[in-house]
Amino acid sequence: MRIFKYLKKHAGAVLLIFMLLFGQAFCDLMLPNYTSQIVDVGIQQGGVEHVAAERLTAQTYDEIAPLVEDAFDSEAYELLEAAYDQAENGSYELTEIGMRNRAQLDDIMALPLAQRWGFAQDGMSEELVAQAGLAATRSEYEALGYDMGAMQLTYLLITGLKMMGFVALGALVSVLVGLVASRTGAKVGRELRERLFAKVMSFSDAEVQKFSAASLITRATNDVQQIQMMCIMLLRMVLYAPILGLGGIIMVARTDSSMGWIVGVAILAVIVVVAILMVLAVPKFKIMQKLVDRVNLVSRERLTGVQVVRAFGQQAGEQARFDIASTDLMRTQLFTNRVMTFMMPSIFLIMNIVSIAIVWVGAGQVDAGVVQAGDLIAFITYSMMIMLGFVMLSMLAIIAPRADVSAGRIDEVLEAEVSIVDPAGNPEKNPAATSLSSGATIEFDHVSFGYGDSSENVLSDVTFTAEAGQTCAIIGPTGSGKSTILKLIERFYDVREGRILVDGVDVRDWRLADLRAQLGYVPQRAFLFTGTIASNVGYAHEQVDEARILDALDIAQAMELVHASEQGVDAEITQGGTNVSGGQRQRLAIARALASDARAFLFDDSFSALDYKTDAALRKALSQRLPGKTQLIVAQRIATVMQAQKIIVLDEGCVVGQGTHAELLATCTQYREIAYSQLSPEELVGQKVGPYEDLSQTSSSQGGERL
């Protein structure tokens, strides 16, 4: 299973848990043995543990000594003589030698002592002889005046206290195992989330689109949680199952091996049941994770576009789409749950049948004196422990398939090849990059590009140069590839043909961090993070002074946001900037780029939500307060680009014109069509409108309606 490799870093914790589980298993396995002793010794034998009594009357010793000498060899007789010394009152007391060899003495003295008290009969089995010897020893104690009730109670109390001690120790070890397992599982989950996040952050847009944002979120949350739960179960239960099962088998063999076949048949039955259920359930677990992705995708998409859904009155239709995705997941979950529902009842049915079989077979052996009642109870308990071990393993069968699927999905992300990476070796770095005050020269050299595996190019043979300190605008109809040009400069994608040069160096030869440090990018869709105005504007630096933030806000014409709030730059911004308008989001996004140390600013249709007055004021501030910085402006408005020093006109991914506004009006048909669709001829060629004057007085009433 893939999950084991996630635990390699935690080998020490796994070893500690393994040792603790051995201790817990020892405690658990001792309890049935003590239960057997309470029944057999404490109750049936009145607390008498050994045939070799602590004291013997002189008459008993004199009678059994010849019997031992006749029945056994001289060595046994010599042991008996050494085991007992005659006391002053005439009785014989067990010596230290006798205490050390008490188990051997039990075998030697059982038959003679039983014959002395009349409990032995011809043809008795060894088991019955041993029980008769214990009965004789109890009679011997009574003859010596022992308080048998006190002896029995003392034995029961001591044995009970031993059991309590093992229970307490087992509980303590169990708590420690649970604590270490939980911490280890949590650490595995944290490490996987960190690795996933770091990997996703290295993805280009192509990899993100390949997996989808919804699937990546599911893998970083639901799939990681499945693995975390599996790690805890593996350390807490699955490791314990074989230890407990093996210990139970050893104890069963010590107790009575004649009924071991019952346990073997039961184990085989459990394996068959689990195997059948696994064959039915595992394929569905793989489908289930994909359906979870689908539900997350539908939910995320509909919640993000909730305003559009409401605006077009499609709540019922979207609810139906979500119900379809949710119902598919529900049906798959119901199938797997129903299959797994049969597992536990089937296993417990097998366990109960095993108990009945053991009692049925064991009752005859107890009646024949082959097995004592306590041993039979212990045998049943140990058999249940063995079965419990397989129950724990069956729990693994429930969660392991889904966890393995989750591990596979996580590995897909972690092992995915990233298409946009730093160059190998020592990447070349332009010395001019050290001068933050100068602009960057950006050159497209016969660039062609297409998204994904599509054979169709979005850009074809694009060639132009934005000189350092120059304002270069890019305009063209929707879908002509304007935004793609800026994404290629940022190296969100790599070109298929040609080169993109920044300060004469191919962007593929730059370290990504160095390249992007030169560029201040404002995406087409302005996105803000949860936090404050200051945290969003100063996003490019961990620590940025307030003066720099205020300066960037002032250039971006966003100071009204600061003045409108009592908190100033500490005013709250909600997730995605939903508590500010679209124009305010754009201006804050522009301020974020301006607060960086960029040498070139890439504005991807970043003025579309601004009114003409604010648009003109912002461009004027950019020109006056950022001298020497390169600006690439993607826009739809002619009024936004007409004052640029160079304008690139795109149509269907090709450069169809480049030059100044006046040159393009004279030479480029596509540019002229766009221009005359937005502004009047007087506004386009007249001298009444200055380079940064407010165009809203004329354009908003004439061309504005045509936009």
437 Cβ neighbours under 8 A, 6+ residues apart: 628
Q: Does residue 564 form part of some domain? A: yes
Question: Is 192's pLDDT higher than 90?
Answer: yes
Q: Does residue 151 form part of some domain? A: no
Same domain as 196, residue 292: yes
3-state secondary structure 26-56: HHHHHHHHHHHHHHHHHHHCCCCCCCCCCEE
Tell me which H or E stretch contains 707: none
Q: What is the pTM of this model?
A: 0.71
Same domain as 543, residue 507: no
CA triple 246-247-248, angle to 5 deg: 90
Tell me which H or E stretch contains 420: none
State residue 432's pLDDT score: 43
Q: What distance in Å separates the CA atoms of residue 522 and residue 590, rounded to the nearest whole number?
A: 6
Q: Does residue 611 form part of some domain? A: yes
Q: Are 605 and 473 in contact (CB under 8 A)?
A: no
Angle between helical axes of 11-37 and 148-202 (0-180°, round to 10):
160
The model's confidence at residue 434, banded by pLDDT at 50, 70 and 90, is: very low
The model's confidence at residue 488, banded by pLDDT at 50, 70 and 90, is: very high
Question: Is 284's pLDDT higher than 90?
Answer: no
End-to-end CA gap in the chain:
60
Q: Are 33 and 251 in contact (CB under 8 A)?
A: yes
Most confident by average pLDDT, 245-249, 275-279, 296-300:
245-249
Q: Coil, strand, or helix at residue 466?
A: strand
Beta-carbon-side half-sphere exposure of residue 388 (alpha carbons within 13 Å): 16
Tell me which H or E stretch contains 564: none
- State the total domains in the chain: 4
Nearest in space to 417 (alpha carbons), one of 171, 210, 556: 210
- The secondary structure of 158-182 as a DSSP string is HHHHHHHHHHHHHHHHHHHHHHHHH
How big is the chain, counted in residues? 707
CA triple 634-636-639, angle to 5 deg: 100
Question: Is 353's pLDDT higher than 80?
Answer: yes
- Indicate the residue among 86, 121, 143 that finishes a domain: 143
Q: Are 106 and 41 in contact (CB under 8 A)?
A: no
Q: Residue 242: how many CB atoms within 10 A of its CB?
A: 15
Any bridge partners for residue 473, and if so which?
633, 647
Listed in order, strand segments (DSSP E) in 51-152 are: 55-56, 84-86, 92-94
Same domain as 209, residue 126: no
* Low-confidence winner among 31-35, 233-237, 549-553, 680-684 (lowest mean pLDDT): 680-684
State residue 210's pLDDT score: 84
Higher pLDDT, 479 or 310: 479
The model's confidence at residue 270, banded by pLDDT at 50, 70 and 90, is: confident
Nearest in space to 668 (alpha carbons), one of 699, 637, 647: 647
Q: Are 193 and 227 in contact (CB under 8 A)?
A: no
Same domain as 312, residue 243: yes
Same domain as 201, residue 108: no
Q: What distance in Å separates the CA atoms of residue 672 and residue 675, rounded to the nearest whole number?
A: 5
Higher pLDDT, 697 or 438: 438
Arithmetic mean of pLDDT over the chain? 84
Higher pLDDT, 447 or 455: 447
| DSSP conformational letter for 223 | I
Same domain as 183, residue 110: no
Q: Coil, strand, or helix at residue 443?
A: strand
Same domain as 547, residue 399: no
Q: Does residue 281 form part of some domain? A: yes
Higher pLDDT, 347 or 60: 60
Same domain as 615, residue 492: yes
- The separation between CA 621 and the C-alpha centre of its own chain, rounded to angstroms, equals 49
323 Cβ neighbours under 8 A, 6+ residues apart: none
State residue 337's pLDDT score: 80
| Average pLDDT rounded to a whole number, residues 366-386 | 78
The model's confidence at residue 689, banded by pLDDT at 50, 70 and 90, is: very low
Question: Is 687's pLDDT higher than 60?
Answer: no
Q: What share of the chain is helix, strand, coil (3-state, %, to 5)?
A: 65, 10, 25
Q: What distance in Å separates the CA atoms of residue 697 and residue 699, rounded to the nearest whole number?
A: 6
CB burial of residue 256 (10 Å; 0-12, 13-18, 19+): buried
| Average pLDDT rounded to a whole number, residues 494-511 | 92
Return the CATH number at 169.
1.20.1560.10
Any bridge partners for residue 182, and if so which?
none
Q: Are 274 and 241 in contact (CB under 8 A)?
A: no
Same domain as 648, residue 605: yes
Scanning the structure block, which residue is given the tokens 């009357």? 57
Q: Does residue 298 form part of some domain? A: yes
Whole-Å CA distances, 16 to 20, 227, 246, 393, 525:
6, 21, 19, 21, 52
Q: Coil, strand, or helix at residue 421?
A: coil
Same domain as 83, residue 123: yes
Higher pLDDT, 623 or 124: 623
Q: Two tokens at 136?
A: 């004789």
Q: What distance in Å separates the CA atoms of residue 113 and residue 61, rounded to the nearest whole number?
A: 9
β-pairing, 505-506 vs 497-502, is: antiparallel
- Indicate the residue among 112, 143, 174 that finishes a domain: 143
Return the CATH number at 485.
3.40.50.300
As a dihedral over the C-alpha atoms of residue 118, residue 119, residue 124, residue 127, rounded to 10 degrees, the angle is: -150
CA triple 214-218-223, angle to 5 deg: 160
- The separation between CA 672 and the C-alpha centre of its own chain, rounded to angstroms, equals 57
Q: Does residue 396 form part of some domain? A: yes
Q: Does residue 51 form part of some domain? A: no
What phi, psi does 261 have (nearest 5°)? -60, -30
Nearest in space to 393 (alpha carbons), one of 273, 284, 249, 287: 273
| Average pLDDT rounded to a whole number, residues 10-17 | 92
Same domain as 501, residue 640: yes
Residue type, 61: Y
582 is in which domain, residue-wise? 531-587
Q: Two tokens at 210?
A: 């390949």
Same domain as 664, residue 581: no
The model's confidence at residue 426, banded by pLDDT at 50, 70 and 90, is: low
What phi, psi does 606 have (nearest 5°)? -85, 0
Q: Does residue 292 form part of some domain? A: yes
Question: Is 409's pLDDT higher than 90?
Answer: no
String of b and e for 393-411 (b: at least 16 CB within 10 Å)?
bbbbbbbbbbbbbbbebbe
